Amino acid sequence: MPLYTRAGYQILSPLHTAAEPYLETQAMSSTSNRTTLNITGMTCGHCVMSVKRALGELEGVTVEQVAIGSATVQYDPNVVSPSAIAEAVSDAGYTATAN
Ligand SMILES: [Cu+2]
């Protein structure tokens, strides 16, 4: 048992110390907030696709759900703001308001 424990520790320890800083960095840089935009001017599935594409092109944004009249996204507040997200939707030809 002591031999097994010692061998296991020696194998796992370098992996643990190497992985830990990486995971901490990831956690700090991938803070994610959620916002739902109210969008006017959307009328059909084409509009849904256009809004989805516009949001998907934004750095720091993960599209969660897009429907006629609204879009819910997760975003990294260190990278992008709700108003910038709304602006991207407006650039695509719709009127968006961030909640
Ligand atoms: Cu449409």
CA of 44 relative to ligand 1 center, distance in Å: 4
| Residue boundaries of the structural domains of the chain | 1-29, 31-98
pLDDT surpasses 90 at 98: no
d(CA 93, CA 82): 17
pLDDT of 99 reads 75
Q: How far is CA 49 from CA 19, 55, 70, 92, 96, in A?
A: 38, 10, 12, 11, 15
pTM, 2 dp: 0.70
The model's confidence at residue 13, banded by pLDDT at 50, 70 and 90, is very low
Mean pLDDT score across all residues of the chain: 82
Mean pLDDT across 55-66: 97
pLDDT at 84 over 50: yes
Taking the centre of ligand 1 as the mean of its atom positions, its distance from the CA of residue 77, in whole angstroms, is 29
Tell me the CA–centroid distance for residue 26 and ligand 1, in Å.
38
Question: Are the C-beta atoms of residues 55 and 89 closer than 8 Å to each other?
Answer: yes
User: Mind listing the pLDDT tens digit for each residue in 22-59?
Assistant: 544 454 556 899 999 999 999 999 999 999 999 999 99
CB 93, CB 53: distance < 8 Å: no
Please say whether the structural domain 31-98 has been given the CATH code 3.30.70.100.
Answer: yes
| Percent share of the chain, pLDDT over 90 | 67
